[in-house]
Every structure is written in structure tokens, then in C-alpha cells.
Amino acid sequence: MSADVIGRPWTFSPAARVVRSFLQRFILFPFLALVTPVTVRDRARLRRLRGPVIVAANHVSHLDTPVIVKALPPTIRRRLIVVAAKDYFYRGRIRGALVSLSLATIPFDRNDGAESLAQCQGLLDRGWSLLVFPEGTRSPRGELGRVRRGVAVMSARTSTPILPLYVHGLAEIMPKGSIVPLPGGVVVEAGDLLHPVAEVEAIRDRLDESLRELALRAPDWGNAKQRSRRRS
């Protein structure tokens, strides 16, 4: 895989993938369990998922990515790339290297979307899955913002299905601008897989509708709420 496609080819080497698996299993996921209990609704549905796929999720917190990565089945997680804002996560060399290694991120230039979209399409064509936040930035109050066209463009051009995913609860636990997480539970819920069609706007509209439907569902907090009460 060439450097012009993924930016940091060492991130996806066999050695880096082994290190990443270790970091996630023994450091990141245990830390996340201390911060907030996570309930995944219909986990069996996610286990049936096969890649490549574009995971499109709402975005309210810096905890979104680790929560979603943990919720996804290992079959997807092992070949999952997280699209991260270049102007935020790659402002420093050390920060960029850490997020690339631990979460398999690639920098997305929000000021040059065409080039970044082409890089993402190249990865999908090579059998990688992508985690993308189609709003483009974190919502300040937790409400779902405008779904942009980028995900729909990638889906149409590469014939890759989209998995709408909604995370309930992180707007209360660690909203935009906060540093220390508050007690609370998180519920992750997936919508129906959206298969690509020729019209980009039709894909975008279907994704927007699916995410808004998921946002309106009353989450089944289950053990997440019980465990959060014990922690508070």
C-alpha cells in the first residue's frame, strides 16, 4: 500500500497491527470500561457484518471513536481505518503518531476534501473499512448536525455499503469542550445496512434519515444505566 494513499504506511504494517491490538485490548478498552459502561444493542447483528463497509456515526465527543471501535466485531476492527481531522489530531508529530498507532487513523484534510476523499476511496478499494463522522465535526450540544455528502460520494464510487451507527449518552458524559468525563452509560445502536445506489444525494438522504431515526429511539440502557448509578 503506497504512502500517497494512506499517509503513514507503517501504521498498517503487520507489526503495527499487533501492537495496536495489544494497546486496545489491554489499555484502551479497560480504560474505557472505567470511564463508562457500554451497551451494544443487537450485538449479534454487528457480528454478522462483513467488510469492507463504511461505518457512519454521530459525533459529539472524543470518546466516540474508542466506544465505536470497541463495539465493532473483531472481523471489522482488524481492518478498520478511522478518518480523523488533520487540523486537530495531526497538529503535532507525536500526537499524530499515537492516534495512528492506537486507532489506525488517517488524516482527513477538511480544507482539501477532494484529495482526502480520493485517499479514502483507495483504501476501500483495497478492502479496508472506514469509520467516518459524516457531520464533519463534533456537535456542541449533542444534537445530530447536517450530514455531508462525502460518505455518500465514497459509497457510490466504490460500491461500498454504509452502516449507520448512533451512540447515545456521550453528550452527557463528555460533551465538546469538556476534559473530565462525568458518570453515565453509553448505548451503541446500528441501523440497517445501506447499499449504494447511483445517485449520491439519494445515499446522503438515506443516511441522514437513518441516523435521525436512530437518534429518536429511546435507548435500552439496561446494564449500562445500572452500572453507571453504582459508579456515581
User: What pLDDT, on a 0 to 100 scale, did the predictor assign at position 222?
Assistant: 52
Q: What is the Cα–Cα distance from 62 to 65, expressed in whole angstroms? A: 7
Which carries the bigger pLDDT value, residue 201 or residue 12?
A: 201
Q: What's the pLDDT tens digit per position in 169-183?
A: 998 888 777 877 888
| Residue 179 neighbours by CB under 8 Å, 6+ apart | none
DSSP helix/strand/coil, 105: strand
Q: What is the pLDDT of residue 195?
A: 95
pLDDT given for residue 139 in this prediction:
82
The answer to whether 84 touches 136, Cβ cutoff 8 Å, is no
Domain that holds residue 195: 3-231
Give the confidence band of 109 by pLDDT, cuts at 50, 70, 90: confident
3-class secondary structure per residue, 145-179: CCCCCHHHHHHHHHCCCEEEEEEECHHHHCCCCCC
pLDDT on residue 25: 94
d(CA 224, CA 110) in angstroms, rounded, equals: 35
Q: What is the mean pLDDT of residues 155-173?
A: 94
* Higher-scoring residue by pLDDT: 44, 209: 209
pLDDT at 202: 97
Tens of pLDDT along 17-47? 899 999 999 999 999 999 888 999 988 889 9
Q: Please determine, for residue 57, whether its predicted confidence score (pLDDT) is greater than 50.
A: yes
Number of separate domains in the chain = 1
CB count in 10 Å sphere of residue 13: 12
**How confident is the prediction for the chain on average, in pLDDT?**
86
Q: How confident is the model at residue 231 (pLDDT cuts 50, 70, 90)?
A: very low
Q: Does the pLDDT of residue 117 top 90, yes or no? A: no
Determine contact, residues 144/38, Cβ cutoff 8 Å: no
pLDDT surpassing 70 at residue 146: yes
Identify the CATH number of the domain in which residue 62 sits: 3.40.1130.10
Question: Which residues, in sequence order, are bridge partners of residue 56?
Answer: 132, 164
Q: How confident is the model at residue 110 (pLDDT cuts 50, 70, 90)?
A: confident
| Average pLDDT for 1-25 | 74
Of the candidates 156, 166, 157, the one whose C-alpha atom is nearest the C-alpha of residue 208 is 166
* 108 within 8 A of 84, measured Cβ to Cβ: yes
pLDDT > 70: percent of the chain? 89
So what's the pLDDT on residue 13? 84
pTM, whole model, 2 decimals?
Answer: 0.88
pLDDT of residue 232: 45
The three cell numbers of residue 202 are 439519494
